[in-house]
């Protein structure tokens, strides 16, 4: 009896201490919310979608290319896939858009289907249009080509 | 036979030609004119009233389906603040075409009154058919309603995106295609497009 009371008193003390310890200084909290919780900040200005129609370089061979045009209002659901109006095999003549590559016709066992594979149907799952915005966090990605070049100069 | 008809016509002429006993000529002319104005004006007022967006979305099938969808498109809000309302795209400006379209629309109202399209599901089931009527109409009149606002002659390709300029300066300029061929689903969600040319 006495022991258990003693133990729970210690536990309570420990908990209240941990509450005190939990208050991390503001500058060490990673957050995009730059305002107190009880204040509704004015949202930042909306960024423009890049609509330059200039294809971007891919960072690694299997990267889904980013979309170089705007896709406002392009419907993708069970009824219709607007992207395929231009990117389907037989549309590239009039649209001059690159055809979706063969991987888009493969199922997960690498069999080629006659039509778009269901797992590649919802294009925006992998492909995204880009904003003309400044980076929120630094990107230190190094391209494989640079790694290989660095390695070969090391050897010499 | 002919003589009989001639006699009848003569009688009618005599009645019409006889001076009015009760009303002055001035009253009759003016009265006729006023009645004409009231009739014509009334007709056009009704026509005009049915030409307002409020009327179009007066029935729930339109308000709950196509109107909701329109609101997220560029034809509802945009940086220049020019709005396209239902009749801008759906009612021809030319008078005879307008009447013809109204007669057709009456049939669609019929569908509403008798409750054939009273849920989202029923609307979706009917949508392909309704959309096809619109595509056919716009195809037949070379997208006249679009061109009432978007004049090809004043399109500045240098200010358009490359994709747009490339298409507009080729298929559209040559007259091979019209707006609706490429811009289906510009204002509402599309129905199941299986089998539609270009999809």
CB contact under 8 A, B190 and A80: yes
With a cut of 0.85, is the ipTM above it? no
Q: Which CATH number fits domain B27-149: 3.90.320, 3.30.1540, 1.10.3820, 1.10.287?
A: 1.10.3820
Q: How many beta carbons lie within 10 A of that of residue B169, not counting itself?
A: 13
State how far the Cα of B112 lies from the Cα of B91, in Å rounded to an integer. Answer: 19
| Radius of gyration, CA atoms only, chain A | 26
Confidence of residue A152 (pLDDT cuts 50, 70, 90): confident
Structure confidence by residue, pLDDT tens digits, B139-158: 999 999 999 999 999 999 99
SS (H, E, C) B135-191: HHHHHHCCCHHHHHHCCHHHCCHHHCCHHHHHHHHHHHCCCCCCHHHHCCCCCCCCC
Mean pLDDT, chain A, integer? 84
Closest in B162, B171, B190 to A94, CB measured: B171
User: What does each C-alpha distance from B124 to A81, B113, B130 come to in angstroms?
Assistant: 17, 18, 10
User: What's residue B61's pLDDT?
Assistant: 74
Read off the tokens for B86. Answer: 């239902």
DSSP 8-class letter at B189: -
Find out whether A94 is annotated in a ligand binding site.
Answer: no
Which of B189, B186, B190 has its CA nearest to residue B76? B186
User: What does each C-alpha distance from A124 to A18, A77, A94, A150, B73 come to in angstroms?
Assistant: 44, 11, 23, 35, 19
User: What's residue A21's pLDDT?
Assistant: 52
Report the helix count and the strand count for chain B, using DSSP H and E. Answer: 11, 0
B70, B187 Cβ separation under 8 angstroms: yes
State how far the Cα of B48 lies from the Cα of B55, in Å rounded to an integer. Answer: 10
What residues in A contact B73, CB-CB < 8 Å? 73
Q: A25 phi and psi, to 5 degrees?
A: -60, 145
Q: How many beta carbons lie within 10 A of that of residue A81, not counting itself?
A: 19
User: What's residue A75's pLDDT?
Assistant: 95
Q: Is A76 helix (H, G, I), strand (E, B) or coil?
A: strand
A49, A134 Cβ separation under 8 angstroms: no
- B34-45 burial, b for 16+ CB within 10 Å, e for fewer? eeeeeeeeeeee
CB contact under 8 A, B163 and A53: yes
Read off the tokens for A155. Answer: 């050897």
Residue of chain A whose alpha carbon sits nearest to that of B177: A94
Q: Is A81 helix (H, G, I), strand (E, B) or coil?
A: strand
CB contact under 8 A, A69 and B161: yes
Angle of helix B120-140 versus helix B95-113 axis, rounded to 10: 170
Residue of chain B whose alpha carbon sits nearest to that of A81: B199
Find out whether A86 is annotated in a ligand binding site.
Answer: yes
Structure confidence by residue, pLDDT tens digits, B66-122: 899 999 999 999 999 999 999 999 887 666 666 666 666 656 655 554 567 778 888
Run of H or E including A16: helix A2-21
User: What's residue A86's pLDDT?
Assistant: 94
pTM, entire model = 0.83
Burial category of B149 from C-beta neighbours within 10 Å (exposed 0-12, middle 13-18, buried 19 and up): exposed
User: What does each C-alpha distance from B41 to B20, B29, B36 come to in angstroms?
Assistant: 27, 18, 8
Taking one residue from A and the other from B, the number of pairs with CB-CB distance under 8 angstroms is 39
Structure confidence by residue, pLDDT tens digits, B128-138: 999 999 999 99
User: What's residue A17's pLDDT?
Assistant: 47
Mean pLDDT, chain B, integer? 81
Question: Which has more pLDDT, B143 or B13?
Answer: B143
Q: How many beta carbons lie within 10 A of that of residue B121, not counting itself?
A: 9
CB contact under 8 A, B190 and A75: yes
Residues of chain B with CATH 1.10.3820: 27-149
Q: How many beta carbons lie within 10 A of that of residue A123, not counting itself?
A: 21
B92, B145 Cβ separation under 8 angstroms: yes
Confidence of residue A134 (pLDDT cuts 50, 70, 90): confident
CA dihedral B10, B16, B17, B21 (to 10 degrees): 140
Structure confidence by residue, pLDDT tens digits, A16-49: 444 445 677 777 777 777 788 898 888 878 888 9
Residue labelled with tokens 């269901």: A118
Structure confidence by residue, pLDDT tens digits, A44-89: 788 889 999 999 999 998 999 999 999 999 999 999 999 999 999 9
């Amino acid at each position: 009896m006495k022991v258990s009371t003693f133990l729970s008193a210690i536990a309570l003390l420990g908990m209240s201490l941990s509450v005190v310890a939990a208050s991390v200084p503001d500058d060490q909290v990673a957050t995009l919310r730059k305002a107190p919780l009880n204040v509704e900040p004015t949202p930042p200005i909306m960024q423009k979608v890049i609509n330059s129609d200039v294809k971007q370089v891919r960072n690694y061979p299997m990267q889904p290319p980013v979309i170089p045009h705007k896709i406002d209002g392009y419907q993708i659901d069970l009824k219709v896939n607007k992207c395929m109006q231009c990117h389907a095999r037989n549309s590239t003549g009039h649209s001059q858009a690159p055809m979706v590559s063969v991987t888009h016709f493969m199922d997960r066992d690498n069999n080629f289907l006659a039509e778009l594979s269901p797992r590649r149907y919802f294009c925006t799952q992998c492909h995204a249009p880009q904003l003309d915005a400044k980076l929120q966090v630094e990107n230190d990605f190094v391209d494989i080509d640079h790694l290989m070049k660095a390695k070969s100069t090391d050897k010499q | 036979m002919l003589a009989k008809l001639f006699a009848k016509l003569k009688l009618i002429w005599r009645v019409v030609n006889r001076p009015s006993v009760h009303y002055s000529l001035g009253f009759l002319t003016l009265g006729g004119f006023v009645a004409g104005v009231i009739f014509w004006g009334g007709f056009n007022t009704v026509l005009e009233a049915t030409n307002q967006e409020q009327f179009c979305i007066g029935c729930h099938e339109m308000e709950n389906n196509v109107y909701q969808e329109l609101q997220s498109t560029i034809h509802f809000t945009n940086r220049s603040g020019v709005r396209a309302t239902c009749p801008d795209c759906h009612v021809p400006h030319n008078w005879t075409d307008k009447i013809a379209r109204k007669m057709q629309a009456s049939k669609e109202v019929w569908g509403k009154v008798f409750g054939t399209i009273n849920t989202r599901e029923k609307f979706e089931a009917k949508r392909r058919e309704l959309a096809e009527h619109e595509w056919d109409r716009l195809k037949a009149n070379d997208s006249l309603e679009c061109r009432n606002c978007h004049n090809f002659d004043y399109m500045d390709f240098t200010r358009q995106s490359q994709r747009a300029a490339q298409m507009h300066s080729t298929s559209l300029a040559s007259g091979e295609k019209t707006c609706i061929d490429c811009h289906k689903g510009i204002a509402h969600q599309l129905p199941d497009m299986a089998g539609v040319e270009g999809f």
